[in-house]
Amino acid sequence: MSTYPFTAVVGQQDLRLALLLNAVSPAVGGVLVRGEKGTAKSTAVRALSALLPPVPVVDGCRFSCDPAGPDPQCPDGPHAGAGADARPARMVELPIGASEDRLVGALDIERALADGVKAFEPGLLADANRGILYVDEVNLLHDHLVDVLLDAAAMGSSYVEREGVSVRHAARFLLVGTMNPEEGELRPQLLDRFGLTVEVAASREPQQRVEVVRRRLAYDADPDAFAVRWAGDEAAVRDRVTAARALLPAVVLGDAALLQIAAVCAGFEVDGMRADIVMARTAVALAAWAGRDAVRKEDVRQAALLALPHRRRRNPFDAPGLDEELLDRILDGFPDDEPEPDPEPEPEPDGPGDDGPEGGPDGGPGGVPPQGGAPDGPEPADAPEAPQDPAAPEPSPEPAPQTGQGGEAPEQAAVRAAEPFRTKVLSVPGLGEGASGRRSRARTAHGRTTGAHRPRGQLTKLHLAATVQAAAPHQRARGRSGPGLVVRRDDLRQAAREGREGNLVLFVVDASGSMAARQRMGAVKGAVLSLLLDAYQRRDKVGLITFRGSSAELALPPTSSVDAAAARLEKLPTGGRTPLAAGLLKAREVLRIEQLRDPSRRPLLVVVTDGRATSGPDALGLAARSARLLAGAGVASVVVDCESGPVRLGLAGRLASDLGGPAVTLDGLRADAIAGLVKDVRTASDINHSNRRAA
C-alpha cells in the first residue's frame, strides 16, 4: 500500500518545514514534534521518507556504507573493490518496549555458542544509518535508551562495549521524535539534545478540517490512486530537497548573521552553546531551502522560532514557547538586509497542486511552504497562538465568591503557590518490579547486575559468565572433542539486575476551611509543587485528590503529566468543612483501580492535611478507620502535617500512625531530618506487612 503523500498533509506548516530542513541538513539535529493526538505527526514523518533521494550503499554492508566514502572502521569492512547498489531511504521505527540490545546491537549469542566466534549483531542504530530514525512517544521511552539514542545522533556514530564485543560503526540519521505532552515531559537535558521542536494542534478552521477528512477518506478508499494524484507535487519537493542539499555547502554564514544568532541566544538566556550551533545550522539550511547562497535576518528569525522554544524550559512548569516581541526587538537592533530583486513567478504545477480542492493551503506545491521559509501574509488559521513570556507575571485567579456546599461558608479565592524547593527522596519500601524510573529499588531489565538465576519463562538477558560456569563441568560427559563449548538449555542463566522504578504518587490535599489561611495555603501548595517537581524528575505517575465541604474529588486522574497536576493545584479553591475520611476512601478507590490497570507500579500516598476532620458525626473516628484500611492494604504513606499556631492538637501525627507511615511538617520537607523519613516509611510498611501475615 502506498504511503500517504507528504504534500497532501493539510496545514501543519511548522512541522513540514522542520522535517524538510532536517532532510536538507541532517546536521541540524532532528526534530521533536509535540502535540495532541490525531494531528498527523506520525503521518508526516512516515511520508517524509518517500521524499528523500535514493541512497547508494555498498553491496552486502549491514551498516549502509557509502561507496564514495566507506567507513574505514565499518565492522563489515574493508570495502575496497566492493560493488555498489542504490536503495530507497529507510525509515526505522524504535518501539517503546525496545531493549538496549535491540537499539545498539549485541553479541550474536547463537554464533558465539555454536561456533565459538565473537560476532556482532547490528541494532536499529545501524539499520537507520543514512535514513530516518523515528521514535513515537519518545517521552515514554526509558531514560537510558533516550541517552544512548541522542548520544549517537550527536556524534554520528555508535560505540558498543559489552559482552566481550568492542564495535564502532557510523550512525548518521535524521532523528524524529513525537510526543503528547499530556503523557509526560522529557527532561530539560534531553529536550536540549533535539535540534528543533514544533508544537502541532488540530486546526480550528472548519474548511481545513473538512479538507483533512476529504483527503483521508480518498486515501483510505484507494491509496495507490491517491498517491498518483500527488505524484507531481511529491517529485517537485523531492527535486527541491536534492537541489538544497547540493547548494548547502556553498551557503555563506556571515559575521552579521552570527552576531544576530549570538544576540538572540544571549537575550533569551539559553544554557550552553548548543542553541547557537543549532540556530546557525538551521539558518544555513533555510537559506539553501530558499535557493539563496547567503543567510539573511529572516532565516535567523525562523531558526530561532524552531530551535529555542524547548531550550527555554528549565522545569516542567515553565510554559513552552518563545516571546516573538522580544525576538523582534533583538533583531531590530541590526541593520536590515539589502533587498533582492523579485524572482520571476513560477508557474503553478498541474494536478493536485492547483487551486482546486486538493490544492495546498499555503500557496506552494501540495501545501509545502513557499521559498524563503515562513510565508508572507496573514498567519494560517491553524497556527497556535503565540505563548506569553514565561517570565511575565500572570494575574492571580480570582474566582467569584460562591456559596459553599450545604449552605457553608463561601468559597475562598484560589491562592498562588509559594516557590517550589528541593525535597529529599521519599520511596516505597521493598523491591518492586515496576516501570523504569528513579525512585524506589526494583528488579529491572536495566541496571547493575546483582547475580544470575535460571530463567523463569523466556530468557531475556543472558548472563554469559554464569552460563559458561554452569556448562563447563559437563563438557567431557557431553563428548566435546574440539574447540567450542557444548551448551544445553539447562545451562542458560538469566542475569538478575537491580535498578530504580517509577511509582504512582497520589496526593490527597486538604482544601477545607481549616487549611484556607492564605499564607498557609500558599506554603502548602508550594510544598506539593515541590513534591510534584520531584515526581517529574523521578519519572513517576501522579494523581491529585482534594477534599472539602462534604466530599472528595479526583482533581487529576493518575497521569505522567505533572504540569497538568500543577495547573490543577494552582486553581484549587478552598473553604468549607473537612471530610478527611472521604478523601482517604477516595484514595483507596483510586489506588484499587490503578492496581488493576498496572499491577507492577507501586503507590506512594502523600496526605497533605492538618489532621482535622469536621464533616459528619464521629468524623475523626471514621477518618481513623479509613486510614487503617489503607494501612491494611500495604499502601506506603506519608503525612505532611500543615498544622500551625501556638496550640497544636497533633491530629496529623495520629493520622500518620493509623496509616502506618511517618508524619513530616512543612518545614521538615526542607530539613536534613527528612533523611530518616525513608527509613521510617520502610519500617512502618514492614510492620504493616507483618501484621497482615499474622492476621
Q: What is the pLDDT of residues 369-422, one digit of tens each?
A: 544 444 333 343 343 343 444 334 344 444 444 444 444 445 555 666 666 677
DSSP sequence for 468-523: HHHHGGGTTTTT--SSS----GGG--EEEEEEEE--EEEEEEE-SGGG--HHHHHH
**Grid cell listed for 174:** 535524521
Is the distance from CB of 561 to CB of 184 less than 8 angstroms?
Answer: yes
Q: Which amino acid is at 431?
A: L
Closest CA to 98 of 445, 347, 575: 445
Q: Which of 428, 436, 427 is nearest to 140 (CA)?
A: 436
Contacts of 501 (CB under 8 A, 6+ apart): 432, 433, 434, 435, 436, 437, 439, 440, 441, 442, 444, 601, 602
Cell numbers given for 175: 532523528
Say which residues have a Cβ less than 8 Å from residue 424's Cβ, sequence separation at least 6.
669, 674, 675, 677, 678
> Which domains are assigned to the chain?
1-52+88-227 (3.40.50.300), 411-428+503-694 (3.40.50.410), 445-499 (no CATH)
Here the cell at position 420 is: 517550589
- pLDDT bin (cut points 50, 70, 90) of residue 71 is confident
* 504-510 and 106-107 strand pairing: unpaired
- Most confident of the following: 162-171, 458-467, 633-642: 633-642
Euclidean distance between CA atoms 432 and 498, whole angstroms:
10
**In this predicted structure, which of 68-82, 282-296, 615-629 has the lowest mean pLDDT?**
68-82
Which stretches within 268-425 are classed as H helix?
274-289, 297-307, 324-332
| pTM score | 0.65
What type of residue is 555?
Answer: A
Indicate which residue of 90, 168, 238, 274 is catalytic: 274
pLDDT tens figures, 570-628: 777 777 888 999 999 999 999 999 888 888 888 999 998 988 888 888 889 999 999 99
Counting beta carbons within 10 angstroms of the beta carbon of residue 473, is it exposed (0 to 12), middle (13 to 18) or buried (19 or more)? exposed
Residue by residue, DSSP assigns 608-654 as EE-----SSTTHHHHHHHHHHHHHHTT-EEEEEE---SSS---HHHH
Residue 288 has pLDDT above 90, yes or no: yes
Dihedral sign computed on CA atoms, order 243, 249, 252, 255: positive
Catalytic annotation present for 539: no
Residues 198-248 pLDDT 10s = 988 888 888 888 998 999 999 999 988 998 999 888 899 989 999 999 999
What percent of the chain has a predicted confidence (pLDDT) above 90?
A: 19
Q: Which residues of 85-95 are buried (b: 16+ CB within 10 A; e: fewer)?
A: eeeebbbbebe
